[in-house]
């Protein structure tokens, strides 16, 4: 697994291997002034939180917490589907990784903007 330390030490290297971001003892934030995309061209995308996961935009939100899914809608709620099936309850357990402890020492600073 490539780490942020590897990328900072070799910023021109192509990322052809796994790249992991870990905040081992605090929060990790990703921000963008413009568009921010999370996608996978050939596999799944999983967003998991130990206690809660929220997707929000334009005053609407989808909250997953304590086994419940809550939709918050200031406007219209629409479902578009060829068919609809209601089934009984089910569980999906997500194993969260144990994060190792370590120190990052940056010896050189690189301008990463384009």
Q: What percent of the chain has pLDDT over 90?
A: 27
Condensed to tens digits (0 to 9), the pLDDT of residues 86-105 reads 888 877 777 777 877 778 77
Give 28-50 pLDDT, tens digit per residue.
888 888 888 888 889 998 888 88
In angstroms, rounded to a whole number, what is the distance separating the alpha carbons of residues 95 and 102? Answer: 22
DSSP letter assigned to residue 33: S
Bridge partner list, 68: 65
pLDDT at 1 over 70: no
Select from 114, 109, 97 the least CA-distant residue to 7: 109
Give me the sheet containing 60-65, strands edge to edge. Answer: 52-57, 60-65, 68-72
Report the C-alpha gap between 61 and 72 in whole angstroms.
Answer: 5
What are 61's two structure tokens? 């939100």
Assessment of whether the complete model's pTM goes beyond 0.85: no
């Amino acid at each position: 697994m490539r780490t942020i330390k590897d990328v900072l030490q070799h910023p021109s290297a192509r990322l052809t291997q796994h790249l992991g971001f870990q905040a081992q003892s605090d929060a990790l934030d990703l921000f963008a002034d413009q568009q921010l995309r999370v996608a996978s061209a050939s596999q799944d995308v999983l967003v998991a939180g130990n206690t809660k996961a929220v997707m929000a935009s334009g005053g609407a939100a989808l909250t997953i917490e304590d086994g419940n899914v809550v939709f918050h809608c200031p406007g219209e709620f629409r479902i578009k589907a060829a068919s609809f099936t209601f089934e009984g309850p089910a569980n999906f357990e997500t194993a969260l990784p144990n994060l190792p402890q370590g120190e990052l020492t940056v010896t050189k600073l690189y301008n990463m903007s384009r």
